[in-house]
Amino acid sequence: MRGRIIRLAILVAVLVAVVGSFVMLSGLDAVAPLGVRGTVQVSGSTPSKPSSSTIAGVERTAGDTSADIVKLVEDIKDPGGARSMYVAVGDRSGELARWLADGYSGFTRSMTTTVLPFDRLSGQDPRGSYYVYGDPAATWAFAERFRTDGYEVDVKTDYTASYAQWLGNQPLGVSFAVTILLCAMLAGMFALMNVKGYAVQRLQGNSSWSVIARDVRANIRQALASILTVLLGFTGFLALYNHASHMGMALALAAGVFAVFLMVIVVAYLIGFMVASRSSLLASLKGRLPARLASGLIYCVRVPAVILAVWAVIYAGMVASQALDQAEAQQAWATAGQASAIRLNPRLSQDEQDRYAAATGQWLISQERQGRMILAEEGYTLEQLSAVASQTGSPMDGAASLSGNVLVVNSNYLHAQTVQDALGRRITRVPNQGVLVVIPASKQDQRERIENVVRAFIGSQSQMHGVATPRITVLTGKSGQSLFGYGQQNMPNQKTLFHDAVLVGVDSDTGIFSPDDYTAYASAGNAMLTDPDQALVSLREAGLQPFIYAVSSVSAKAAADFAKLQANLRIHLMNVLVAIAILIASAIAAAQTHVRGGAQRIFARYVHGWSFPATHRLAITMETMLALAPILFSTYQIIQSGLRAGTPTGAQNVADIYLLGGWQPAFIAAVTIVNILIYLLATARYERILAANHSREE
């Protein structure tokens, strides 16, 4: 039975290693081709040399260095699901030469990749991301080639920090931490539970190394069989999933992850063995452990277990909240139609970006006037408008107490979405050269203050751009009405459906928003085009193609993001279950160690009628501190968030999303209270067993 514990640790480690390898390679392949040895980011001003000269120079460098280089260009209509790969081959016998002939052997099936020869880039803007295969030193040769032609270049050949940051933002990162702790606990428990067996081996004159070798021999055959079974299943799955593409890389990555887990298992086992071997022979034969050493070892797992359980619960709660928000908005997404967001090229120089931003804003305004641009800007809140009002010196009695969302829209939004007034009549347009404010019925007690802050904001914008302050029309919205915000492209999974939000309708004819403002809204996905095919033709005619490199459907992206969110939620929920199981197991182990270590003292106090709290005062104090620490820290964060919300800026910290709408302390309290209750119940049970057996082992 005890041997199964260590074999379970190894099985869990190899399972998580192969799953982690698959998830990591799938995620990385969707971002960049696999096997890259260096990256060259090319940006800066457009140089005087023609593009064809630069492209030809890069191809010559590939031949001179016998290294391959690739440029990825995202599909203009489906940037998240399709891309073109332009390949310059320096190694004629290498894998990239086969890609040109047979196509890219991708690991993930979620991305379609078209492979094209590098010279097809001739005449196109050379700026962008390039990936180097072969000798990493060749990366610098390619970088120098671009610098010679007048471009700014950023080179990267070490991806350790980038991979670590990416993994930390994935649910898999929490899974790895949970697995490490689980494996450590199982390996340590295996050694501690064998204390009697180790004592017998010591009586027979066996050395510590021979005892360890005996444990290895007893378990290695079954462990190797389970590892081989998992690996065979993994290779079979890859053969079906992607025809075994990049199988060597997947197995190597799985082996590396498993090696880390195995090292943790070995270290935890050796520490447990050391603790089990420190007892006297008589105590060991009775199954007793050195109280201080054993307790210290248990709490080396217990403290991280509390932190990890809290971490897992917070992440799961955050993802669950986002999933509920997105599920609620699914019906609204059906009304999005062909609405498409634009993506802007970040590789241009600052001067070019400024010039294109103004031209793009003018183009968006022209699209709005033709009924082809929907504005749904989600970036404002009543707190921010209150801050603007206070800065203008307007009388703002009680404005600081205002809170809630503001959705800035145009007439095209009102045509696409149903917005009704208090009488149920649909609002279809913004007054000509005016501003429309729709205050929800639930905020009528704050109507005057909301009107004041909106007027102050409109006045501030008018003054900034030197235009007359437009006339403001105020209406009451239908009770219980929700406003659809179309989501934010650069912040997926954020709230899309706004309840009790204030709507501010503004068309470009008021002049209170500049062309740069419209470009900024579009960059976040809040200024969308209703006809993507027409938009592609129009932006080419306007000469904006170097700046706008993609026009993609917001609803398609939202559907893909929602599917990914649901998958992440399942992983997070599994993390929570495993983390809480570790916490409960560590609580029971801590209680058992505490009672065994102080058996004589606890029995003496028990027979003398001491109360349970008095008998276990020190242990209860330690557990209470362990429970209170995360609760108090979370409460402190909530208080700090509230203070930030009340500042003049009204800005919320990015970390506030992890506060779960103010419920984070409650979730943490639930975890820690269950934890301490399990500990107390287990302690009481072991105390009763101890008393019934007169301090002998159960």
* CA 386 – CA 26 distance, rounded (Å): 45
* Residue 633: how many other CB atoms lie within 10 Å: 13
Q: Which of 156, 181, 209 is the last residue of a domain?
A: 156
Q: Which of 156, 179, 200 is the last residue of a domain?
A: 156
* CA 99 – CA 70 distance, rounded (Å): 11
Looking up residue 147, the CATH number of its domain turns out to be 3.30.1240
Q: Is the dihedral of CA 236, 238, 242, 243 positive or negative?
A: negative
Continuous H helices in 194-246: 195-203, 208-242
Q: Same structural domain for residues 466 and 505?
A: yes
Q: Same structural domain for residues 521 and 389?
A: yes
Q: Same structural domain for residues 125 and 61?
A: yes
Distances (CA, A) of 444 to 16, 203, 386, 477: 54, 84, 17, 10
Report angle CA 29, 30, 35 to the nearest 5 degrees: 20
- Decide: 121 and 71 in contact? Cβ < 8 Å: yes
Provide the terminal-to-terminal Cα distance of the chain, rounded to the nearest Å.
Answer: 18
Domain assignment present for residue 680? The answer is: yes
Q: Same structural domain for residues 427 and 576?
A: no
DSSP category for residue 246: T
Domain assignment present for residue 263? The answer is: no
Residue 410: burial class (beta carbons within 10 Å; 0-12, 13-18, 19+): buried
Domain assignment present for residue 462? The answer is: yes
Q: Token pair for residue 103?
A: 């196509």
- Decide: 390 and 368 in contact? Cβ < 8 Å: no
Looking at 390-433, which runs of residues are DSSP E strands? 405-409
- What pLDDT does 645 receive? 52
Task: State the amino acid at position 506 in one-letter form.
Answer: V
Q: Token pair for residue 56?
A: 């030809």
Report the side by side order of strands in the sheet with 152-156. Answer: 112-117, 82-88, 68-74, 128-133, 38-43, 152-156
* CA 387 – CA 403 distance, rounded (Å): 12
Q: Same structural domain for residues 587 and 522?
A: no
β-pair type (497-499, 82-88): unpaired
Domain assignment present for residue 461? The answer is: yes
Phi-psi map region of 662: left, alpha, beta (phi>0 left; psi -120 to 50 alpha): left
Q: Same structural domain for residues 496 and 540?
A: yes
Q: Same structural domain for residues 590 and 685?
A: yes
* CA 642 – CA 657 distance, rounded (Å): 13
* CA 403 – CA 523 distance, rounded (Å): 26
Q: Which of 123, 156, 189 is the last residue of a domain?
A: 156
Q: Same structural domain for residues 387 and 517?
A: yes
* CA 66 – CA 155 distance, rounded (Å): 19
- What pLDDT does 289 receive? 60
Distances (CA, A) of 468 to 357, 438, 588: 24, 22, 72
How remote is the C-alpha of 441 from its chain's centroid? 36
Distances (CA, A) of 406 to 20, 27, 221, 431, 444: 41, 35, 64, 19, 15
Domain assignment present for residue 10? The answer is: no
Which SS3 state, helix, strand or coil, does residue 96 take?
helix
- Decide: 130 and 40 in contact? Cβ < 8 Å: yes
Instruction: Tell me the chain's radius of gyration from C-alpha atoms.
Output: 32
- Short-list 576, 589, 583, CA closest to 675: 583
Q: Same structural domain for residues 315 and 459?
A: no
How remote is the C-alpha of 503 from its chain's centroid? 30
Q: Same structural domain for residues 508 and 405?
A: yes
Domain assignment present for residue 577? The answer is: yes
Continuous H helices in 598-662: 599-607, 612-615, 617-645
What pTM was computed for the model? 0.74
Q: Each residue of 544-568: pLDDT tens digit?
A: 988 888 888 888 888 878 877 887 8
Q: Same structural domain for residues 390 and 525?
A: yes
Q: DSSP assignment of 301-338, as one string?
A: HHHHHHHHHHHHHHHHHHHHHHHHHHHHTHHHHTT-TT
- Short-list 433, 520, 509, 424, CA closest to 475: 424
Q: Block means of pLDDT (10 residues each) for the chain, length 698 residues?
A: 75 90 85 86 80 90 91 79 88 86 84 89 86 89 90 84 74 81 83 77 80 88 93 93 89 93 92 78 60 67 82 82 80 84 85 90 94 90 77 56 86 94 92 93 89 90 91 92 83 79 94 94 91 90 87 82 80 82 82 75 81 86 87 80 51 51 79 89 86 59
Residues near 109 by beta carbon (within 8 Å), at least 6 away in sequence? 241, 242
- What pLDDT does 694 receive? 60
* Residue 80 domain boundaries: 38-156
Helix (H) or strand (E) holding 73: strand 68-74
* CA 162 – CA 100 distance, rounded (Å): 29
Q: Same structural domain for residues 490 and 376?
A: yes
Domain assignment present for residue 296? The answer is: yes
- Decide: 424 and 475 in contact? Cβ < 8 Å: no
* CA 136 – CA 67 distance, rounded (Å): 9
337: phi then psi, degrees, rounded to nearest 5:
60, -135
* CA 679 – CA 474 distance, rounded (Å): 60
Domain assignment present for residue 227? The answer is: no
Quote the number of domains for the chain. Answer: 3
Angle between helices 2-31 and 160-168 (to 10 degrees): 110
